[in-house]
């Protein structure tokens, strides 16, 4: 390696990787496994949701839907005219 230009430098070393296994206290690991087992049981059992009601659409919302549908019809008619030509 040269500090003043020129010369050759060595190829960079390839990084090495390490794997570590970190363990927790046996009691904590045991409790986590218990919680995972409970979660699995709860996830397998279907739940019954209560019926619910939804408020109807207001007048302004109905007008918006009608306007959108009319606009959609106009766009489809225009599209058909372009295809027919």
Q: Where along the chain do its domains lie?
A: 60-85
Of 85, 81, 63, residue with least CA distance to 73: 81
Q: In the chain, where do the E strands start and end?
A: none
Across all residues in the chain, what is the average pLDDT? 82
d(CA 41, CA 33): 12
**The predicted structure's pLDDT at residue 19:** 86
pLDDT tens readout for residues 18-54: 888 888 899 999 999 999 999 999 999 888 888 888 8
Percent of the chain surpassing pLDDT 70: 82
């Amino acid at each position: 390696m040269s500090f003043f230009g020129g010369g050759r430098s060595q190829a960079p070393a390839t990084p090495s990787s390490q794997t570590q296994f970190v363990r927790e206290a046996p009691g904590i690991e045991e409790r986590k496994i218990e919680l995972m087992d409970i979660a699995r049981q709860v996830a397998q059992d279907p739940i019954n949701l209560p019926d619910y009601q939804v408020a109807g659409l207001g007048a302004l919302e109905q007008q918006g839907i009608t306007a959108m549908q009319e606009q959609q019809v106009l766009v489809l008619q225009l599209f058909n005219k372009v295809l027919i030509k």
